[in-house]
Structure 1
Amino acid sequence: MAVWGVFAALRAAPRLWRRASRAAAGFRGTFFGRGYSVDPAQVRATQSPPTFGFLLDIDGVLVRGHQVIPAALEAFRRLLDARGQLRVPVVFVTNAGNISQHDKAKELSTLLGFKVEPDQIVLSHSPLKLFFQHHGKRMLVTGQGPLVENARALGFENVVTVDELRLAFPVLDMVDLQRRPKTTPHLRTDFPAIEGKGVSLGVGGSGVLLLGEPVRWETSLQLIMDVLLSNGNPGTVLATVPYPHLPVLASNMDLLWMAEAKMPRFGHGTFLLCLEAIYRKLTGRELRYCGLTGKPSLLTYRYAEELIQRQAVKRGWAVPIQKLYTVGDNPMSDVYGANLFHQHLQAAQQGGMESPLDAHSCTSILVGTGVYSPAAPGPVEQPPFHGHRDFGLSPGLLEAAHVVNDVDEAVRLVLRQEGWA
């Protein structure tokens, strides 16, 4: 499976940042944010290099929509030293993908009141940087936000958006009566972003890149299906359905996510569910992914762990980070993923596969400020499985090691366990 090949490549990749100088490196420049009061004990604690770090979810843990959760400010008051620098390595792991790493770091810096660096952010699609074998292909990309910029930052240089394809083939987008062409349009032959006769994604050299939930789902679903069923040339009709189909890469499998509303909102996982159901109904076959990133995928957690270790070296902490603590609000993505990664780390140690610099454990902590609500009445029967089709139901993986009220309680719990309280 292609995903495991990429995972192996990541494990074997040279850790160049660990060859760099281990001199302490703080944040560059000055950041004027919230004034955090720091206990003297916290300053003393920074003299001992940390052996643990945090992987923090964002939506439902630190923020709800555009509003910061008060407990998040308290949590970082404990995690920052007198100079406003983190006492332990922290990486923010989110399944959001409709923003750039730089802008997400800037947004968090404003909300939390201290400098968050872009290399502390793992978006749902960040690990797609490792799928080198697909970077040279012409990819139909869907999602929102700076789509083309994000795709290029990941290494995909030749991308086509759904809107570009829709304008090139106006007769394909027919659900919205207001957008239907009034007359039969001529086929464009001057579309520069796509090669081939007329307008084509290029047979054999194309694919589909799903970076997040789009708007106008009916348009995206229709055009993605057109590309897959035509083998990348939606201007033609093939006698038989091509299978295996063109490569499909997707990020963010969350069925639901938590914003300001009282009830969870549809996530990209809901869109993927629709796409898979339509493909199965039309072809009688299963839609297959060459890569699935974002929580709860192992690749995402491995990628985040690499950033934790890099951050430790950047700060001059000589010892490797051995224990990871993940804090999230979604049992299916945050808890499942953390427990799955913990199983992987344990198996690697038992099999003698681990590097001396790898983490040894990953502990899951579930908070009640987002998708999971401790105040909600318990189900009288087994709740439905909200995970992605390719991640089987394993009830044990959905059980968090710790369940707490909020992120501040989670941080206090970890600091006590590590003797840093």
Structure 2
Amino acid sequence: QPPAFGFLFDVDGVLVRGSQAVPAARQAFQTLADSSGRLRVPVVFLTNAGNCLRSAKARELSQALGLQVSPEQVILSHSPLRLFNQFHQKCMLVTGQGPVEENAQNLGFKHVVTIEALRKAYPLLDMVDQSRRPKELPPPTTGFPTIEGVILFGEPVRWETSLQLIIDVLLSNGNPGAELQDIPYPHLPVLACNMDLLWMAEARMPRFGHGTFLLCLENIYKKVTGRELKYEALIGKPSTVTYRYAEYLIREQAKKQGWKSPIRHLYAVGDNPMSDIYGANLYNNYLKSARHNQVQAGVKTSLQAASPQTKDHLELRKDRDNSVESCESILVCTGVYRHSAGVPSNTEECTKETVFHGHRDFCFDPSLVKASYIVQDVNDAVQLAFKKENWS
């Protein structure tokens, strides 16, 4: 029978560790695919990575998993930005690493300025690395466009340069060569992708993520101005808009395969309680409240900007058929979350969060980091979902 469920798989710490595939990942996808290598269940890869193209991430996953993954199955942290078309005609400063300019253009942004272009236009702004300081006083910059907003795609390479130039842009209202006048507030729109404080690569301990960079930026801005840095939108896990986009792609995939049964249940498999589990549980709350005509549950009012902004032009909103009833969270022990004594029998054991690793604008609710299930690895997660769905 056609599947009535789909999977949202995190990537780092669930399917791969750095460039190496997690051993259980290939087993899981052998179970998910038929004899011709075609997936029998709709699958979306939901990662907070953003310093690459969707097509490149799809190729990486195809190689790691031993089956064909299409770019349409991949959601990077920035993918929902294609829905924010009110910013697509504005001149936006983009930060991160990798093909940030190409990513922005692929998402619909027509006028983008990179940190490197800004640095070259205003060489006196970047002063920390003495070897990069200009040897002579450069002529005044003319003709450089006024910046109208900032997109933070992911952690940059030279944090001191990006932090300095972003603050300069916000304090100068998009004209960083000007003298400091009254500090504008509210400041220019800031859209941030990927709030993960930490992520898991090949090293034995977690590595700094983009959430750590955001923490630095927020604290510098507040120290300099005495005011809070505000976000026009925060996207990527655990933001609800990202899961709504994932649900839309799951249903589109099912439609493309000719599966007539409506998708009723989603299973979100992740290794990070503060992004994967929090996000899946937050979306599960959203699904429950949506059935009672409420908009969202569990997020501070200031964060809800990400949903109303997309209200009028979200295809997924128009297309929404309300068939999905739940999004269950499954925590694996192969990444950020590790349980030294094996898989705990009680999910309460893993959710006693003593230090809040989530973003500033998400309130900490202990129930949201409590996984529906905890299993050893992604193969066990797939088997668990199959058993619950009576699927083989």
TM-score for the superposition, normalised by structure 2:
0.90
Match of 1:364 among 308, 329, 345: 329
Q: Are the aligned partners of 1:200 and 1:234 in contact in 2 as well (CA < 8 Å)?
A: no
Counterpart position of 1:199: 144
**Alignment map for 1:87-106 (pairs within 5 Å):** 87-106=40-59
Larger radius of gyration: 1
Matched, 1:164 2:104: no
Distance in 1 separating the partners of 2:181 and 2:15: 52
Distance in 2 separating the partners of 1:376 and 1:92: 29
Match of 2:8 among 40, 50, 55: 55
Letter in 1 for 2:146: L
Moved over 6 A (4+): 376-381
Matched residues, number: 363
Of 294-303 and 348-357, more deviation after overlay is shown by 348-357
Distance in 2 separating the partners of 1:129 and 1:373: 35
Of 296-305 and 179-188, more deviation after overlay is shown by 179-188
Counterpart position of 1:319: 261
Q: Secondary structure at the match of 2:124?
A: helix
Q: Secondary structure at the match of 1:111?
A: helix
Counterpart position of 1:84: 37
Using a 3 Å threshold, how does the CA distance of structure 1 residues 276 and 310 change in structure 2: closer, same or farther?
A: same
Q: Secondary structure at the match of 2:238?
A: coil
Counterpart position of 1:224: 166
Using a 3 Å threshold, how does the CA distance of structure 1 residues 380 and 359 change in structure 2: closer, same or farther?
A: closer
Match of 2:89 among 125, 128, 136: 136
Give the CA deviation at 1:358.
3.5
Letter in 1 for 2:81: L
Distance in 2 separating the partners of 1:100 and 1:379: 34
| Cα RMSD, aligned residues only | 1.7
Counterpart position of 1:119: 72
Give the CA deviation at 1:201.
2.1
Give the CA deviation at 1:376.
7.5
Distance in 2 separating the partners of 1:388 and 1:380: 17
Distance in 2 separating the partners of 1:312 and 1:187: 57
Distance in 2 separating the partners of 1:148 and 1:397: 35
Using a 3 Å threshold, how does the CA distance of structure 1 residues 218 and 188 change in structure 2: closer, same or farther?
A: same
Structure 1 residue ranges without an equivalent (≥5): 1-47, 190-197
Q: Secondary structure at the match of 1:188?
A: coil
Using a 3 Å threshold, how does the CA distance of structure 1 residues 380 and 342 change in structure 2: closer, same or farther?
A: closer
Give the CA deviation at 1:349.
1.2
Of 121-130 and 354-363, more deviation after overlay is shown by 354-363
Match of 2:248 among 306, 313, 318: 306
Matched, 1:175 2:175: no
Distance in 2 separating the partners of 1:111 and 1:336: 26
TM-score for the superposition, normalised by structure 1:
0.84
Using a 3 Å threshold, how does the CA distance of structure 1 residues 303 and 168 change in structure 2: closer, same or farther?
A: same
Give the CA deviation at 1:317.
0.3
**Alignment map for 1:1-400 (pairs within 5 Å):** 48-189=1-142, 198-202=143-147, 206-351=148-293, 355-375=320-340, 382-400=353-371
Give the CA deviation at 1:188.
3.2
Using a 3 Å threshold, how does the CA distance of structure 1 residues 268 and 320 change in structure 2: closer, same or farther?
A: same
Distance in 1 separating the partners of 2:76 and 2:351: 35
Distance in 2 separating the partners of 1:66 and 1:102: 16
Q: How high is the sequence identity, in percent, across the aligned residues?
A: 62
Q: Are the aligned partners of 1:168 and 1:187 in contact in 2 as well (CA < 8 Å)?
A: no
Distance in 1 separating the partners of 2:54 and 2:178: 38
Distance in 2 separating the partners of 1:177 and 1:352: 54
Using a 3 Å threshold, how does the CA distance of structure 1 residues 294 and 352 change in structure 2: closer, same or farther?
A: closer
Q: Secondary structure at the match of 2:104?
A: helix
Q: Are the aligned partners of 2:76 and 2:236 in contact in 1 as well (CA < 8 Å)?
A: yes
Give the CA deviation at 1:381.
7.7
Using a 3 Å threshold, how does the CA distance of structure 1 residues 114 and 379 change in structure 2: closer, same or farther?
A: closer
Structure 2 residue ranges without an equivalent (≥5): 296-316, 343-348
Distance in 1 separating the partners of 2:109 and 2:352: 45
Distance in 1 separating the partners of 2:322 and 2:282: 20
Of 227-236 and 347-356, more deviation after overlay is shown by 347-356
